[in-house]
Amino acid sequence: MRERVLAWLADHVSAERIEHILGVEQTCLELARLHQVNEQEAALAGLMHDLAKFFPPDKLLSLAQQHGVETDEILTNSPHLLHAEVGAIVAQREFGIENPEILAAIRHHTLGFPGMSPLSCVVFVADAIEPLRGNTPELEVIRLTARENLYKAVRQTCDYSLRYLVSRIKIIHPRVILTRNWALIQEKQFLETK
């Protein structure tokens, strides 16, 4: 399966994006080991998370509509945000992925989702902290946190994204804020059980 996915990616994304994808795959494996998440599922979701990253906006909108993906004004005006939802569709159609956990992890890797499974949390965080993302102090903090408290790392990843989007005067999808708030509650509960 891995070779099939890599061959497909070679025809559909840039070489730089493949390097990022491989970094996410490896980071997913590492986080899965630390948090007792199925490693094969994590690696596969990481490998497939950006299948639709380079689809043009009209194709993203069309596939989302064809497959009943709920859209709103923000997604319609920023169709690149649909690449996660459409990526799950591609994983199912092109590669026969039926595992709902893997499909959800692909679907939620960009905006997150309140109530995400540990697998989805792993992919969401791995996408932000894989080595090619750089070595800023903020990313280093998230990388360290991700080893100890996955929910706190999800919240920090949301905070990091929100600061980035605000600083560049970009549209923010409310799901990022909902994900952040959910993760903050989970983070606190996790700390209380320690």
Instruction: Give residue-wise pLDDT tens across range 67-83.
Output: 999 999 999 999 999 99
Q: How confident is the model at residue 190 (pLDDT cuts 50, 70, 90)?
A: confident
Distance from C-alpha of 152 to C-alpha of 148, rounded to nearest angstrom: 9
Q: Residue 70: left (phi > 0), alpha (psi -120 to 50), or beta?
A: beta
User: Do 81 and 74 contact (CB within 8 A), yes or no?
Assistant: yes
Q: How confident is the model at residue 11 (pLDDT cuts 50, 70, 90)?
A: very high
**17, amino acid identity:** R
Mean of the pLDDT values across residues 123-150? 96
Write out the CATH class of domain 2-193.
mainly alpha
> What pLDDT score does 34 carry?
97
Q: How confident is the model at residue 194 (pLDDT cuts 50, 70, 90)?
A: low
Segment 30-62, tens digit of pLDDT: 999 999 999 999 999 999 999 999 999 999 999
> What pLDDT score does 62 carry?
96
Among 85, 97, 82, 112, smallest CA distance to 40 is for 97
Mean pLDDT of the chain: 96
Among 102, 161, 150, smallest CA distance to 128 is for 161
> What pLDDT score does 183 carry?
97
127-144: b (≥16 Cβ within 10 Å) or e: bbbbeebeeeebbeebbe
Say if pTM beats, i.e. exceeds, 0.75. yes
Segment 14-28, tens digit of pLDDT: 999 999 999 999 999
> What pLDDT score does 152 carry?
97
